[in-house]
Amino acid sequence: MKDSNGEKYLIDGFCFNTVFCGEFRWYVYRVRLLRQENAYALLWLSPRTKGCIMVYLFFSLILVLLPMTAQAYQTSVADYASVQDAIDAHPGEVLFVPAGKYEIDEALRLTEDNSGLVGYGVVIQRNKNAAILEISGARGVRIRDLTLTRAEDGRDCNASGIAIRDCRDTLIANIRLIDNRSQRPAIEVRTSVDCRITGVEIRNYKRIAIDDRTAAGESLHGYAFNCIDGTGIMVRHSQNISLLNNRIVEEHLLPTKEIQERHRLGSLTDGRYPTNLGVLGKMAVVNEAVSNWHQGSAIVVTSPETTRDVIIHGNYIENSAQGIDLHCDYVRCADNTVIRGMMGIKMTHGTKHVVVANNLLTQIDLWGILYNPGEASHDGLPATDDAPARSENVDGGSVIANNIIADYGYGHEYWNWGGASDDQAGAYAIAFFEGQLPENPPVSHVLVTGNLVYHAHDLTGDEPPRYRYALYLGPWDSNKQDSPNLPQNIKIHGNMFHPGTRGISNVDIPE
């Protein structure tokens, strides 16, 4: 089009939609002169076009002011002596936490339905023995956008960052949980239903600790040892849980040989009770030390006989011990990324009906994917005069599909596993093992399809793969000839497995 002086200009139209007292729709026009300044273009616009621009500017201003007005009418914790005082004064309300630092000495406690905290403030816990936030017995709690951390001298602590218990319909979204370095999970969900944890950043959650397995309930173990320990998110005794698009990264404490030697990691030490090695303890302890001194998981979902219906999707995990550890049923674990860890994804202790699909597992140093019956796996039992019937807790009925395992053995701790022996003992990209105990029923009825185990020649040059087999099915000790509970009915089809130093697999699989 041309103006009255013959200058060319363009009018671009597009539709802008919003919701404001119902659906609202209008057209906005943008004017651009080809050879003149944009400001002069308005002199030659028709009244209709000018009107459209004024409507656009008017409603743009409303859209800017509405959030500010809503925020102005939302109760702010800054108007109270403490955050907890604000919570107590407004039960059942979602409170605004404006930017700033809020130091606390006890856990913030939310116990009323439909309560919550939102905003961009930083909550700093000074008490190393207290959680930062506790949510209990409430429905519909919302926590958004906050940063939760600890005082610099209390980062190695003895409590969770967020503890959720006996709750329903809880949402934790877009928060940052930094430097909660504890044996307790950074976020723990227990005996809760319909909870979502999404868009959360957990950074630096591990500490040097003692893993004490000497108590009466640990009779199969019976020892204590120095370790690195810490877990990002733990779910127990819960149902209908979604863990979506979280970032769980450890940067502070890595499982290097230097750190192991400095802290004598793996060495046996005194526990609460005297050392008395049980069946599994005798298998683990060699020369007064154990090799599994890197403990904890980025994500662990446990309590296999009660926890079910879980979605674990789109999470990014870096420098974990176990990336994703599953002891539960009816799970979809998909589209996650695990970079550098002892294990990528583990299923055990009675884990059935799981879909493990489209995950990227790189620089894993022991097992990319592990599936085996654990000590908690058992068959069902009929009722007796002395005990009620017991439902089975078995492993299997699952699908492992379209996962990529690459750059195996190039994390921080290969030196402690396959790299510790010339024959790469135990180094398998994907492993199905016998039960931990003879009475454990075998893992069975699993479909393994479309997976890729890739040996990166561009990374390693002429160096051979760091895994024995891409796929292993058998006893924990590869020299063992037989076992009462070896894996059964494992169907393997359509995978691409680069061979390890001993071949593709220890069993015959279809081409």
Q: What share of the chain is helix, strand, coil (3-state, %, to 5)?
A: 15, 40, 45
Confidence at residue 32, expressed as pLDDT on a 0 to 100 scale: 38
Residue 94's beta-bridge partner residues? 116
Q: Of 23, 47, 73, which marks where a domain is finished?
A: 73
Task: Please state the rounded mean pLDDT for residues 318-328.
Answer: 98
State whether 476 and 327 are in the same domain: yes
Give the C-alpha distances (Å, rounded to integers) separating 131 from 141, 168, 430: 17, 20, 37
- For residues 344 and 360, is the Cβ–Cβ distance under 8 A? no
Lowest mean pLDDT among 66-80, 228-242, 431-445, 478-492: 66-80
Share of the chain above pLDDT 90, in %: 72
Higher pLDDT, 365 or 37: 365
Higher pLDDT, 21 or 247: 247
Q: Buried (b) or exposed (e) across 306-338, using 16+ Cβ within 10 A? A: ebbbbbbbebbbbbbbbbbbbbbbbbbbbbbbb
**Does residue 4 fall inside a structural domain?**
no
Confidence at residue 483, expressed as pLDDT on a 0 to 100 scale: 82
Locate 163 and state its tokens: 């503890």
Confidence at residue 440, expressed as pLDDT on a 0 to 100 scale: 94
**Does residue 290 fall inside a structural domain?**
yes
- For residues 234 and 302, is the Cβ–Cβ distance under 8 A? yes
Overall domain count for the chain: 2
Exposed/middle/buried for residue 369 (C-beta within 10 Å: 0-12, 13-18, 19+): buried
**Does residue 308 fall inside a structural domain?**
yes
Measure the CA–CA gap between 43 and 402, rounded to whole angstroms: 61
Amino acid letter at 149? T
116-119 and 247-249 beta bridge pairing? unpaired
pLDDT (tens digit, 9 = 90+) per residue, 149-193?
A: 999 999 999 999 999 999 999 999 999 999 999 999 999 999 999
Maximum C-alpha span of the chain: 102
Indicate the pLDDT class of residue 50, thresholds 50, 70 and 90: low
As a three-state string, the secondary structure of 384-449 is CCCCCCECCECCEEEEEECCEEECCCCCCCHHHCHHHCCCCCCCEEEEEECCCCCCCCCCEEEEEE
Confidence at residue 54, expressed as pLDDT on a 0 to 100 scale: 64
Confidence at residue 55, expressed as pLDDT on a 0 to 100 scale: 59
**Does residue 111 fall inside a structural domain?**
no
pLDDT of 295 higher than 80: yes
What predicted TM-score, i.e. pTM, was given to this entire model?
0.85
| Helix, coil or strand: residue 351 | coil
pLDDT (tens digit, 9 = 90+) per residue, 457-503?
A: 655 567 899 999 999 999 998 887 778 899 999 999 999 999 999 99
Range of the domain at 30: 9-73
State whether 210 and 69 are in the same domain: no
**Does residue 405 fall inside a structural domain?**
yes
**Does residue 239 fall inside a structural domain?**
yes
Locate 39 and state its tokens: 């400001």
**Does residue 346 fall inside a structural domain?**
yes
How many other CB atoms are found less than 10 A from the CB of residue 145?
Answer: 15
316-326 and 337-347 beta bridge pairing? parallel
Measure the CA–CA gap between 473 and 234, rounded to whole angstroms: 29
Measure the CA–CA gap between 378 and 437, rounded to whole angstroms: 10
428-433 and 360-371 beta bridge pairing? parallel
- For residues 243 and 185, is the Cβ–Cβ distance under 8 A? no
Lowest mean pLDDT among 178-182, 257-261, 273-277, 368-372: 273-277
Q: Of 57, 73, 89, which marks where a domain is finished?
A: 73
Q: Of 24, 45, 73, which marks where a domain is finished?
A: 73
404-406 and 360-371 beta bridge pairing? parallel
